[in-house]
Amino acid sequence: MALAEDLGPNGDLTSCLLIPENQIGTARLFSRVAGVLSGGVLLAPLFGRVDPRVSVKLALEDGAELSPESTIARIAGPARSILTGERVALNLVARLCGIATLTRKFAAACGRARVTDTRKTTPGLRALELYAVRCGGGRNHRFNLSDGILIKDNHIAACGGVGRAVQLARAGAPHTMRIEAEVTSIEQAREAVEAGADVLLLDNMAPPAMRAVVEELRGQAVFEASGGVRLETIGEIGATGVDIVSVGALTHSAVSLDLSLDLAAA
């Protein structure tokens, strides 16, 4: 879809007019800044879709640390085809590198708790963006709505309370599936656990309140912190004793890494 979007109905007019079809070229794809690599595995299939004569040799594996001028891959084949695929390759890999780089920062700052993503992803790119989270040292939460039962505030409002919502979920869920409930107070946490919740999502709670929930209900549930988590705050949140910190910013606020592709002169 990305290639179709970029090529449009008439293909790469500029490259077709300027570069002979059989002119061979070599290119180097590299990072201009420090970061974490993700998406290198996409390069060969992407350029192969443009032209099967293009070959890609990766210099680094996904998850590797990048420094300024780090070579990610060397690409060889028809020069016209390399340039046709250039922008899509850079857009995708730079986006995934940005997510992996940000995830590694959050994971390093969190401490013992597990850092996970959320469903706040770019439509159509979720599989790639969640892969980038793993490259950065994070873990995945739910890939889609069918992956688990997560009772949020609007579900609770519709059911008339967190206890009632958990009871309904418990009554209809497969016995192998855990039930997670969002809570915003110690009272809601108690109600959810009493109703049979396996995981408590501590939503936008201050660290002292999180710690109080964890200390009182330890051993009765898994604890996940979520809501407005920032690099400056994740260390304090992780220190409350929660098991998981889910961070929407990993995918919705990551800045693409500055990558470049240079074609050798003819």
Q: Which of 74, 120, 139, 164 is catalytic?
A: 120
**Residue with the two structure tokens 């680094």:** 60
HEC sequence for 163-197: HHHHHHHHHHCCCCCCEEEEECCHHHHHHHHHHCC
The neighbouring-strand residues paired with 258 are none
Q: How many CA atoms lie within 13 A of 34 on its CB side?
A: 2
Q: Which of 49, 53, 152, 230 is catalytic?
A: 152
Q: Are strands 244-246 and 24-31 parallel, antiparallel or unpaired?
A: unpaired
Taking a C-beta distance cutoff of 8 angstroms, is the pair 179, 198 a contact? yes
69 is catalytic: no
Q: Which of 62, 182, 191, 224 is catalytic?
A: 182
170 is catalytic: no
Per-position DSSP letters for 56-105, written without gaps between them: EEESS-TT-EE-TT-EEEEEEEEHHHHHHHHHHHHHHHHHHHHHHHHHHH
191 is catalytic: no
Residues noted as catalytic: 87, 120, 152, 182, 203
